[in-house]
Amino acid sequence: MSERRIEDARGRTLSLRPLTMLDRLRLFKALGAELAMNDAYLGVAALAASVVAIDAVPLPFPANEAAVENAVERLGEDGIEAVALALDQSDPAMMKALAGN
């Protein structure tokens, strides 16, 4: 899948890559059974996991709950909102799948 770049409200360049099915499985494993069933948490985690770099600094794919929370913290509301908007505009079905709905 191709990578694309967007800018958030803070002026940061975010590099995005839509999650593959394998990425989603790995995210479920990283979150654990309870959080993987929490649609709200999973949706935000999927948005954060779609970001591969912030201002060209790599953001590793999260391997556990702490890494998910670290990515969300680094992105902040501005970053998460920008990712959500970008993915929603590019493919509404993708956003729905990421949110687990």
Helix (H) or strand (E) holding 57: strand 57-58
Total domains in the fold of the chain: 1
Q: Which domain range does residue 42 map to?
A: 4-99
Which pLDDT score is estimated for 53? Answer: 98
| Exposed e or buried b per residue across 30-58, where buried means at least 16 C-beta atoms within 10 angstroms of its C-beta | bbeeeebeeeebbbbbbbbbbbebbeeee
Residue-wise pLDDT tens for the chain (101 aa)? 578 999 999 999 999 999 999 999 999 999 999 999 999 999 999 999 999 999 999 999 999 999 999 999 999 999 999 999 998 865 555 545 555 54
Helix (H) or strand (E) holding 43: helix 39-49
Which pLDDT score is estimated for 38? Answer: 94
Which pLDDT score is estimated for 95? Answer: 47
Please give the structure tokens belonging to residue 5: 């770049």
**3-state SS class at 7:** strand
The Cα–Cα gap between 44 and 57 comes to 20
- Taking the model in full, what pTM does it have? 0.84
Which pLDDT score is estimated for 2? Answer: 78
